[in-house]
Amino acid sequence: MMTRPLGKTGFSIAPLVFGGNVFGWTIDEKTSFALLDAFVDHGFDAIDTADVYSRWAEGNQGGESETIIGRWLQARPGMRDKVKIFTKVGSDLGLPGHKGLSKAWIQQAVDDSLRRLNTDYIDLYFSHWPDPQTPVAETLEAFHSLQQAGKIRAMGASNLDAMQLAGALEVARKGGLPAAGAAAGI
Protein backbone atom coordinates (compact mmCIF):
# COMPACT_ATOMS: atom_id res chain seq x y z
CA MET A 1 0.00 0.00 0.00
CA MET A 2 1.18 3.48 -0.77
CA THR A 3 2.15 5.52 2.28
CA ARG A 4 2.20 9.25 2.85
CA PRO A 5 4.32 11.44 5.10
CA LEU A 6 2.45 12.29 8.29
CA GLY A 7 2.93 16.00 8.85
CA LYS A 8 6.40 16.73 10.20
CA THR A 9 6.68 13.53 12.23
CA GLY A 10 9.45 12.08 10.09
CA PHE A 11 7.55 8.93 9.19
CA SER A 12 4.94 7.84 6.68
CA ILE A 13 1.74 5.86 7.13
CA ALA A 14 -0.96 4.29 4.99
CA PRO A 15 -3.85 6.72 4.37
CA LEU A 16 -6.17 5.33 7.06
CA VAL A 17 -5.71 5.27 10.86
CA PHE A 18 -7.59 2.77 13.03
CA GLY A 19 -9.36 4.52 15.92
CA GLY A 20 -9.11 2.31 19.00
CA ASN A 21 -11.59 4.11 21.24
CA VAL A 22 -14.04 1.20 20.82
CA PHE A 23 -11.70 -1.34 22.43
CA GLY A 24 -12.84 -2.45 25.85
CA TRP A 25 -16.38 -1.11 25.80
CA THR A 26 -18.31 -1.65 22.55
CA ILE A 27 -16.16 -4.56 21.38
CA ASP A 28 -14.35 -7.19 23.42
CA GLU A 29 -10.71 -8.22 23.24
CA LYS A 30 -11.25 -11.13 20.83
CA THR A 31 -13.13 -8.93 18.36
CA SER A 32 -10.55 -6.15 18.81
CA PHE A 33 -7.75 -8.57 17.90
CA ALA A 34 -9.66 -9.74 14.81
CA LEU A 35 -10.26 -6.16 13.65
CA LEU A 36 -6.61 -5.19 14.19
CA ASP A 37 -5.45 -8.31 12.33
CA ALA A 38 -7.73 -7.51 9.38
CA PHE A 39 -6.61 -3.87 9.38
CA VAL A 40 -2.93 -4.82 9.15
CA ASP A 41 -3.60 -7.68 6.72
CA HIS A 42 -5.12 -5.10 4.35
CA GLY A 43 -1.93 -3.01 4.38
CA PHE A 44 -2.75 -0.38 6.98
CA ASP A 45 -0.29 0.44 9.71
CA ALA A 46 -1.38 3.19 12.14
CA ILE A 47 -3.45 2.70 15.30
CA ASP A 48 -4.78 5.57 17.42
CA THR A 49 -5.81 5.36 21.07
CA ALA A 50 -5.66 7.44 24.27
CA ASP A 51 -4.95 6.84 27.93
CA VAL A 52 -8.55 7.79 28.76
CA TYR A 53 -10.20 5.25 26.40
CA SER A 54 -12.66 3.93 27.67
CA ARG A 55 -13.08 5.51 31.10
CA TRP A 56 -16.65 6.60 30.32
CA ALA A 57 -17.94 3.00 30.12
CA GLU A 58 -19.40 1.49 33.26
CA GLY A 59 -16.76 -0.45 35.19
CA ASN A 60 -13.85 1.02 33.23
CA GLN A 61 -11.17 3.35 34.57
CA GLY A 62 -9.32 4.33 31.40
CA GLY A 63 -6.45 2.56 29.70
CA GLU A 64 -8.60 -0.33 28.47
CA SER A 65 -7.96 0.43 24.79
CA GLU A 66 -4.20 0.73 25.30
CA THR A 67 -4.20 -2.53 27.27
CA ILE A 68 -5.98 -4.42 24.49
CA ILE A 69 -3.59 -3.03 21.88
CA GLY A 70 -0.65 -4.01 24.10
CA ARG A 71 -1.95 -7.56 24.48
CA TRP A 72 -2.48 -7.75 20.72
CA LEU A 73 1.12 -6.64 20.12
CA GLN A 74 2.41 -9.14 22.68
CA ALA A 75 0.45 -11.99 21.06
CA ARG A 76 1.94 -11.21 17.65
CA PRO A 77 5.76 -11.19 17.79
CA GLY A 78 7.25 -8.74 15.31
CA MET A 79 4.02 -6.78 14.90
CA ARG A 80 5.38 -3.73 16.72
CA ASP A 81 7.84 -3.15 13.88
CA LYS A 82 4.97 -3.15 11.36
CA VAL A 83 2.64 -0.61 12.98
CA LYS A 84 2.71 2.97 14.22
CA ILE A 85 1.09 3.54 17.59
CA PHE A 86 -0.49 6.90 18.42
CA THR A 87 -1.81 7.71 21.89
CA LYS A 88 -2.80 10.78 23.84
CA VAL A 89 -2.38 12.39 27.26
CA GLY A 90 -4.30 15.15 28.99
CA SER A 91 -7.84 13.90 29.59
CA ASP A 92 -9.21 13.59 33.11
CA LEU A 93 -8.61 10.05 34.38
CA GLY A 94 -10.62 10.65 37.54
CA LEU A 95 -7.79 10.67 40.08
CA PRO A 96 -6.10 13.70 41.66
CA GLY A 97 -3.33 14.98 39.39
CA HIS A 98 -4.19 12.53 36.62
CA LYS A 99 -5.17 15.05 33.97
CA GLY A 100 -3.79 17.98 32.08
CA LEU A 101 -0.43 18.64 30.47
CA SER A 102 1.96 19.40 33.33
CA LYS A 103 5.46 18.01 32.98
CA ALA A 104 5.03 15.78 36.03
CA TRP A 105 1.80 14.25 34.76
CA ILE A 106 3.07 13.76 31.20
CA GLN A 107 6.14 11.93 32.51
CA GLN A 108 4.01 9.59 34.62
CA ALA A 109 1.32 9.15 31.96
CA VAL A 110 3.74 8.17 29.20
CA ASP A 111 5.22 5.44 31.38
CA ASP A 112 1.72 4.18 32.18
CA SER A 113 0.83 4.16 28.46
CA LEU A 114 4.06 2.39 27.51
CA ARG A 115 3.36 -0.32 30.09
CA ARG A 116 -0.23 -0.81 28.90
CA LEU A 117 0.80 -0.78 25.24
CA ASN A 118 3.56 -3.30 25.89
CA THR A 119 6.13 -1.26 24.02
CA ASP A 120 9.18 0.84 24.78
CA TYR A 121 8.23 3.75 22.50
CA ILE A 122 5.19 5.55 21.12
CA ASP A 123 5.36 6.72 17.53
CA LEU A 124 3.12 9.77 17.94
CA TYR A 125 2.17 11.14 21.37
CA PHE A 126 -0.62 13.72 21.32
CA SER A 127 -1.74 16.29 23.82
CA HIS A 128 -5.43 15.34 23.88
CA TRP A 129 -6.89 18.70 24.94
CA PRO A 130 -5.63 22.19 25.69
CA ASP A 131 -4.66 22.71 29.33
CA PRO A 132 -5.17 26.33 30.40
CA GLN A 133 -3.59 25.56 33.81
CA THR A 134 -0.18 24.64 32.36
CA PRO A 135 2.14 26.93 30.39
CA VAL A 136 2.57 25.72 26.82
CA ALA A 137 6.37 25.88 27.21
CA GLU A 138 6.20 23.41 30.11
CA THR A 139 4.18 20.98 28.01
CA LEU A 140 6.51 21.31 25.01
CA GLU A 141 9.56 20.82 27.25
CA ALA A 142 7.99 17.65 28.68
CA PHE A 143 7.32 16.24 25.21
CA HIS A 144 10.84 17.19 24.12
CA SER A 145 12.35 15.33 27.08
CA LEU A 146 10.32 12.25 26.11
CA GLN A 147 11.71 12.46 22.56
CA GLN A 148 15.24 12.76 23.89
CA ALA A 149 14.68 9.73 26.14
CA GLY A 150 13.41 7.69 23.18
CA LYS A 151 9.96 7.20 24.70
CA ILE A 152 8.21 8.97 21.82
CA ARG A 153 9.21 9.51 18.20
CA ALA A 154 7.04 12.54 17.52
CA MET A 155 4.59 14.80 19.28
CA GLY A 156 1.17 15.92 18.17
CA ALA A 157 -1.65 18.22 19.23
CA SER A 158 -5.33 17.32 19.29
CA ASN A 159 -8.48 19.39 19.76
CA LEU A 160 -6.77 22.78 19.56
CA ASP A 161 -8.38 25.59 17.66
CA ALA A 162 -6.32 27.45 15.06
CA MET A 163 -5.36 30.25 17.47
CA GLN A 164 -4.24 27.78 20.15
CA LEU A 165 -2.15 25.86 17.63
CA ALA A 166 -0.60 29.07 16.29
CA GLY A 167 0.22 30.13 19.85
CA ALA A 168 1.86 26.79 20.63
CA LEU A 169 3.90 26.94 17.42
CA GLU A 170 5.08 30.44 18.36
CA VAL A 171 6.09 29.31 21.87
CA ALA A 172 8.04 26.44 20.31
CA ARG A 173 9.76 28.74 17.82
CA LYS A 174 10.73 31.34 20.43
CA GLY A 175 11.85 28.71 22.95
CA GLY A 176 13.81 26.61 20.49
CA LEU A 177 11.53 23.67 21.26
CA PRO A 178 10.16 21.12 18.85
CA ALA A 179 6.61 21.76 17.71
CA ALA A 180 3.80 19.33 17.07
CA GLY A 181 4.57 17.18 14.05
CA ALA A 182 0.89 16.43 13.48
CA ALA A 183 -2.45 17.90 14.51
CA ALA A 184 -5.87 16.27 14.83
CA GLY A 185 -9.36 17.49 15.55
CA ILE A 186 -8.63 21.11 14.70
Q: What is the mean pLDDT of the chain?
A: 94
The residues that are catalytic are: 53
Q: How far is CA 14 from the centre of its chain?
A: 17
Nearest by Cα to 41 from 79, 73, 13? 79
3-state secondary structure of 82: coil
Domains contained in the chain, CATH given:
4-184 (3.20.20.100)
| pLDDT, tens digit (0-9, with 9 covering 90-100), for 101-149 | 999 999 999 999 999 999 999 999 999 999 999 999 999 999 999 999 9
- Buried residues in 11-25 as b, exposed as e (16+ CB within 10 A): bebbeebbebbbbbb
3-state secondary structure of 140: helix
The more confident residue out of 184 and 155 is: 155
